Structure formats: C-alpha cells, structure tokens
C-alpha cells in the first residue's frame, strides 16, 4: 500500500504542477503555492477538510483566464491529494489497525467501486464520441475536455477518500469540526459575495427586478444551478454553527452568518432552493428533537443571552422573508409561472430521454459531458445559440476568432456573446479597434459593460455592420461613451466586461482579429487580442436561454451520461448514506442530522436542476456523501490503546486529544 500511495502522490503532484505551469495568469506563483499547500497537507492531513470547503466558492477565475474545463480549485484538490497520499505512504509503514468493517461500510465500498467503473466507462465513451479531437486548454462544452470536466469531481473525492477514512478512524472529532468549519466559512464567503453582487446591481433591497445571483460560480455563465446546489448542501451547517456556538461572541458570528445566508437563499429566487432548504430545515428540526449527541440537552446551557438572541435571530429571518415577498413581485411572478415552467421542463426532459435510443445507450449512457452537443444535434430547433473557434490562417500563419450564431433552423432565443474582463468602466470615451470580415452581411454589437456575470448594471456600446462576401479584412475604429454609474445614478462596483455579440437576423458568423480597447486615459485594456494564445483571457456567456446546456434533472443527467449502470450505484450510495445516518454506526455522530439534511436538500434541488455538471458543487456533494457513508459515532483506538495519530503533525495530535 505504501508504494500505491506514493505513486498516487507523485502522479497528482506532477499533474498539478503541469497544470499550474500552463496557467494563463500566474504560472509561477501557483506552482509555488501548489508545492507549499501539498507540504502543508502532508504535515497536517486534517487541514484539507477545512481549507477545501472554505476556498471552494472563490477558487475559480474562469472569467479572467478563459479556462472552462480546468480551474484553480483543481490545483487545490490535486495538491491535497498529493500531500495526503504522501502522508498515507509513510503512515502505512507503521501498520496501524483499521476499524472493523460494518456491513453498511462494505456495501458502500462495493457501490463506490461500481460507480467508479461507470465513470471510467462513461469517460471513455465521452472521449470517443468527441471524434478523436485532441484535448486543449480552452475547450468548451462540445469538445473532449468537457468529458473530463464532468467526471473530475467524483475522481477527486475518490482520491481523497483514503485520507478521509484515515482521519475518521484516528481523529473523528477533529475531522468533523474542521469539515463543519470549512463548509460554514465557504458559505459565509458566498453570502458576502451575493451581498456585494446585489449591492452593485440591482440593489440590496430591490426585490422586483428580475435578477438572480450567481456569487462567484462562473460556471453559471450558461445557466445551471451551481449556487442552488451549493446552498442546499451548506445551509444546514449554518444551523450547526448557531446551535453549537459555545459563547456569545461565537454565537454572534454564527447568527450574522445565518442572517446573510437567509438573504442569499431568498434572493436566489429559486423555487427549488426554497423547497430544498425548507425541507432540510424541517428534517433538521425533527432529528434535533430526537435524543442524541446533537439534542438540546447536550448543547451548551440555555443562558439568557442565548434565549433572547435566538428569538431576535428568528425575528430577523422572518422579516427577511416578509421583505422579499412583500416588497417585491419578482418571486410572485416566478411562482405564478410555475405551471408553465413545469410543462416546458417536462418537454425538455422528454427530448433529453430521446437521446437514449439503443439498449447500450440506456445501460451505459451517451458519455460524460456529451449532453450539449448530442442534444443540439437531436433537437436542432433548441441547439446551442452560438460557438467560438480559434482558426489558424494557413496563408498568413496568424490566428483569428470565428464567432458563430445558432443554426438556421434553431429558435433564435436569448443571446450568445464573447467576453473579456476589463477594468470597470469609467466616465469618458472608449476606443475599440478591431479587424472584421464575414461570409454574409452581419451585425456585431460591441459594448463595455458593468456586469458581474449575466446582468448589466450599465452598458455603453454600438453596432458594427460588416459587409458580407469579402474575404479581405476590414479595419474598424469605434468610439463610445462610458459611465461609471448605473441607470439609477448609483455608483456601481460591478466588474467590467468587453462584450461582442452577433445580432439575430444577421449572418451566420463573423471573424474577428487584432482587437484593442483603449480607455479615456489611453491605456490598452485587452489581452490576447490577436488570439495567438488561443482563447486565453476570453470568456463567453449565454443570456436568457440555457436549455441545450443542461437537462435540468440530476437523475436524468446521470442516466443520459452514464446510463442505468451509473444511476443505480449513485442511488444505492445515497440510500446507504441515509441508512448510516439514521440507523447505522453514524447515527450517533453530532454531524449526522446536518449531513442528512444537506444530502436530502441537494437531491430535492436535483429534481429540477442539473448539479453534477457544476464541478465545485458536485465535489462538495461527493465529499459530504463519502463522509456520511463512513461516519461512525466515535474514533477507533489502535492496538496500543492510543489514538492512531498522524505521525507528522503535532498540531493534529494536540487537537485530537
């Protein structure tokens, strides 16, 4: 086993450094940080349970790098895998005992093995379905890299599982406390990000404007429910923080977290979040009423400040609900449209199931990450509304970007645009210089916008008419005014984007090259404007039309990607986790009710949303699932009657006593 752990540590380290060295922004900084983080995990293994959940919501810069299938969070996980398995390689030589294998745990190992085989088969089928295209750093949802993107979350969780199991055996209390603290910290960062986002646009107390937050989940640039799934998984840990606070100061921090998290959930304006979080809170209330380590009789005594503070917290949360529903009509409009939206979703699910045409596809699925391209081909009227492709010009040796619209027979819904992060717009004039050509006459909208991800706070631009049929490049120099305030006159700290959008009713595609954007001070704001670096620094987004990217159901997502052979092991794992948390060895653990509520809420949201194609939310799901599967009520002593403590970490030794 020592050799196996050492090999995994080396492979993860080499892969992580290889990715870091190709990072579009900070290759050397990330390489150094990768090594330092791997060494930190090797020295204090339990720290990964704190740091990974805490940094998960912020460790992605896709909107700046242009990476879609790879993100900075992958480096964090790979470094944890490398350091964790290096620790296990040394620990395995000591030959410590392991916990007795409960029947539930043996079944969990079998189901995990079956799901791992399913993921491997689906990955091979997905790569095969990509027609032999080579992997590339900046590939999107129709290229082979998307297959790896869809499968990496489960693989990462599986690679961390041996270290997780070792910590659950040797330092159960420490592992649980660090996991809970990490999840609560990450949830706090998400809530603060939503506060900043909504203060920029549309405003903290505007509950009528149709704006739905995305926090720092940039994978929602083509829709999806990353934030919904994340909130469903993490809200129970905000309750844990409030109930387990040991003094007034810690309780105040936890109560503030609960208030901002309540605001975040309410202003998601997601019906599935309301349902999932509501059911999870009801489930928590039921489980906490049952005598156990989590019950009120073993919690800190009910001092007067705790009683009155709890009442005040409940009153504030009720006021938040009243404010969102009583002082705005956006959610009421969404509720009124529920029947229509459900009918559209049923049609979408039916069309998605139509992709499984043969027994082998029903058994094994169509392959990981292949839903967008397969759905666009099978349902052409709902095809992806646009595409980006960097083309190498053989005559000149230069590269240029080809921006395409939807197929001719597709419904022209929403919009598709290519983006690059720029400094937030300042008052004054912008100058955009670029070369354009088009096979047919096309209209291109160019603008500099204050935008977080999908919604504009303010936008200034113009429309360029590109003559068709001429293969010669035409140079354009455009000027347009920009302002630093929104339409309401309130200064907005929103991010800035350069936006390029092919307008409906024009040509099918337009070629772009040699882009330069100058602000009023004459500074050049764009990077890789000649596309010599591929799509580095360039991003894209959809608007108001996300149907072809997601099937909008977690279970159908598994069925279409991996077939019955993948769906059944996943359902078995969920059932085993629930059994362990309700009737198995894990039922007496203090985290059991909260894990039960989190997994249940995630499944409820998954009835109406695709969640496993959102890598960071999917990773947290698999991490919590694995933690729940092998949870026990206490740590296990080794043969010497002592805790099997980490050999390198004095801090872990002190914390676990």
- Angle CA 68–613–404, to nearest 5: 50
**Of the candidates 74, 73, 54, which has an alpha carbon nearest to the alpha carbon of residue 237?**
54
Tell which of 526, 544, 562 closes a domain.
Answer: 544
Q: Is residue 357 one of the residues assigned to a domain?
A: no
Q: Do 177 and 242 fall within a single domain?
A: yes
| Mean residue pLDDT across the chain | 88
Tell which of 522, 544, 566 closes a domain.
Answer: 544
pLDDT at 293: 66
Report whether pLDDT(641) > 50: no
Residue-range definition of the domain harbouring residue 449: 386-544
**Average of pLDDT values for 404-429?**
77
Query: Residue 25 gets which letter from DSSP?
Result: S
Q: Do 30 and 112 fall within a single domain?
A: yes
Q: Do 571 and 510 fall within a single domain?
A: no
pLDDT tens digits for range 323-346: 999 898 899 899 989 889 899 999
pLDDT at 175: 94
Contact 557, 613 (CB under 8 A): yes
Q: Do 514 and 561 fall within a single domain?
A: no
Q: Do 558 and 501 fall within a single domain?
A: no
pTM of the full predicted structure?
0.93
Cα 532 to Cα 391: distance, rounded to the nearest angstrom: 10
Report whether pLDDT(79) > 50: yes
- Angle CA 541–324–235, to nearest 5: 70
**Of the candidates 187, 90, 175, 97, which has an alpha carbon nearest to the alpha carbon of residue 630?**
175
Q: Do 591 and 651 fall within a single domain?
A: yes
Q: Given pLDDT bands bounded at 50, 70 and 90, which one contains residue 455?
A: confident
Query: Residue 56 gets which letter from DSSP?
Result: T
Q: Given pLDDT bands bounded at 50, 70 and 90, which one contains residue 17?
A: very high
Q: Do 564 and 535 fall within a single domain?
A: no
Report whether pLDDT(3) > 80: yes
Report whether pLDDT(407) > 90: no
Q: Is residue 373 one of the residues assigned to a domain?
A: no
Q: Counting Cβ atoms within 10 Å, is residue 251 exposed (0-12), middle (13-18) or buried (19+)? A: buried
Q: Do 281 and 410 fall within a single domain?
A: no
Q: Is residue 629 one of the residues assigned to a domain?
A: yes
Tell which of 490, 516, 544 closes a domain.
Answer: 544
**Average of pLDDT values for 446-474?**
86
Domain count of the fold of the chain: 2
CATH number at 447 reads 2.60.120.260
Q: Is residue 65 one of the residues assigned to a domain?
A: yes
Report whether pLDDT(506) > 80: no
Angle between the N-to-C axes of helices 48-55 and 145-170, in degrees from 0 to 180, rounded to the nearest 10: 140
Question: 426-430, 464-468, 535-539 — which one is most confidently predicted on average?
Answer: 535-539
Report whether pLDDT(448) > 60: yes
Cα 354 to Cα 346: distance, rounded to the nearest angstrom: 12
Q: Do 51 and 174 fall within a single domain?
A: yes
Q: Do 584 and 529 fall within a single domain?
A: no
Q: Given pLDDT bands bounded at 50, 70 and 90, which one contains residue 83?
A: very high
Q: Do 539 and 593 fall within a single domain?
A: no
pLDDT at 381: 84
How far is CA 13 from each of CA 74, 304, 343, 578, 616, rounded to the nearest angstrom?
12, 52, 48, 35, 20
Q: Do 100 and 156 fall within a single domain?
A: yes
Contact 175, 586 (CB under 8 A): no
pLDDT at 493: 55
CA quadruple 16, 19, 21, 26: dihedral sign: negative
**Average of pLDDT values for 155-161?**
97
In DSSP terms, 430 is beta-bridged to 480
How far is CA 272 from each of CA 286, 438, 486, 552, rounded to the nearest angstrom?
21, 43, 31, 11
Q: Is residue 342 one of the residues assigned to a domain?
A: no
Q: Is residue 379 one of the residues assigned to a domain?
A: no
Q: Is residue 478 one of the residues assigned to a domain?
A: yes
Q: Is residue 174 one of the residues assigned to a domain?
A: yes
Q: Is the peptide bond before 407 cis (omega within 30 degrees of 0)?
A: no
pLDDT tens digits for range 132-143: 667 889 998 999
Cα 632 to Cα 101: distance, rounded to the nearest angstrom: 11
Report the percentage of the chain scoring pLDDT > 90. Answer: 65
The three-state secondary structure class of 425 is coil
């Amino acid at each position: 086993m020592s050799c196996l752990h050492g090999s995994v540590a080396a492979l993860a380290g080499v892969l992580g450094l290889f990715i870091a060295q190709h990072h579009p922004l900070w290759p050397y900084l990330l390489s150094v940080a990768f090594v330092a983080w791997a060494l930190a995990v090797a020295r204090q293994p339990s720290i990964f349970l704190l740091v990974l959940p805490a940094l998960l919501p912020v460790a992605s810069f896709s909107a700046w790098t242009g990476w879609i299938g790879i993100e900075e969070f992958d480096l964090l996980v790979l470094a944890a895998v490398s350091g964790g398995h290096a620790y296990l390689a040394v620990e395995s030589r000591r030959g410590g005992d392991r916990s007795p294998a409960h029947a539930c745990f043996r079944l969990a190992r079998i189901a995990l093995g079956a799901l791992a085989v399913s993921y491997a088969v689906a990955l091979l089928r997905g790569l095969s379905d990509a027609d032999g295209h080579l992997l590339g750093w900046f590939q999107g949802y129709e290229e082979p890299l998307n297959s790896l993107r869809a499968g990496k979350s489960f693989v990462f969780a599986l690679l961390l599982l041996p270290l997780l199991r070792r910590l659950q055996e040797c330092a159960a209390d420490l592992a649980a406390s660090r996991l809970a603290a990490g999840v609560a910290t990450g949830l706090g960062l998400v809530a603060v990000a939503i506060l900043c986002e909504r203060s920029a646009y549309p405003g903290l107390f505007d509950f009528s404007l149709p704006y739905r937050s995305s926090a720092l989940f940039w994978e929602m640039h083509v829709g999806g429910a990353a934030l919904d799934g994340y909130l469903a998984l993490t809200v129970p840990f905000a309750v844990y923080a409030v109930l387990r606070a040991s003094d007034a100061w810690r309780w105040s921090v936890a109560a503030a977290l609960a208030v901002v998290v309540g605001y975040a959930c309410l202003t998601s304006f997601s019906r599935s979040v309301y349902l999932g979080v509501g059911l999870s809170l009801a489930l928590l209330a039921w489980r906490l009423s049952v005598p156990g380590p989590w019950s009120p009789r073993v919690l800190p005594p009910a001092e007067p400040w705790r009683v009155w503070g709890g009442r005040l917290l409940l009153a504030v949360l009720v006021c938040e609900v009243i404010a969102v529903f009583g002082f705005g009509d956006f959610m009421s409009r969404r509720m009124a449209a529920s029947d229509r939206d459900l009918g559209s979703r049923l049609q979408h699910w039916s069309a998605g199931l139509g992709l499984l045409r043969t027994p082998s596809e029903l058994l094994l699925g169509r392959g990981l990450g292949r839903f967008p391209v397969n759905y666009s081909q099978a349902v052409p009227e709902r095809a992806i509304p646009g595409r980006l492709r960097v083309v190498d010009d053989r005559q000149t040796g230069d590269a240029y970007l080809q921006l395409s619209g939807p197929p001719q027979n597709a419904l022209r819904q929403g919009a598709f645009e290519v983006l690059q992060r720029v400094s937030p717009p300042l008052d004054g004039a912008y100058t955009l210089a670029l070369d354009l050509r088009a096979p047919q006459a096309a209209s291109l909208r160019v603008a500099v916008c204050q935008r977080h991800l999908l919604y504009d706070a303010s936008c200034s631009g113009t429309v360029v008419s590109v003559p068709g049929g001429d293969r010669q490049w035409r140079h354009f120099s455009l000027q347009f005014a920009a302002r630093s305030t929104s339409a309401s006159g309130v200064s907005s700290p929103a991010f800035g984007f350069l936006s390029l959008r092919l307008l409906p009713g024009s040509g099918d595609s337009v070629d772009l090259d040699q882009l330069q954007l100058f602000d009023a001070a004459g500074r050049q704001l764009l990077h890789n404007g000649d596309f010599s670096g591929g799509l580095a620094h360039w991003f894209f987004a959809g608007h108001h039309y996300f149907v072809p990217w997601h099937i909008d159901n977690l279970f159908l997502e598994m069925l279409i990607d991996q077939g019955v052979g993948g769906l059944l092991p996943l359902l078995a794992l969920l059932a085993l986790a629930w059994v362990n948390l309700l009737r198995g060895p894990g039922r007496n653990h203090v985290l059991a009710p909260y894990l039960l509520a989190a997994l249940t809420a995630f499944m409820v949201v998954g009835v109406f949303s695709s969640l496993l194609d959102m890598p960071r939310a999917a990773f947290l799901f698999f991490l919590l699932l694995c933690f729940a599967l092998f949870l026990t009520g206490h740590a296990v002593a080794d043969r010497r009657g002592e805790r099997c403590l980490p050999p390198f970490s004095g801090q872990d030794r002190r914390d676990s006593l």
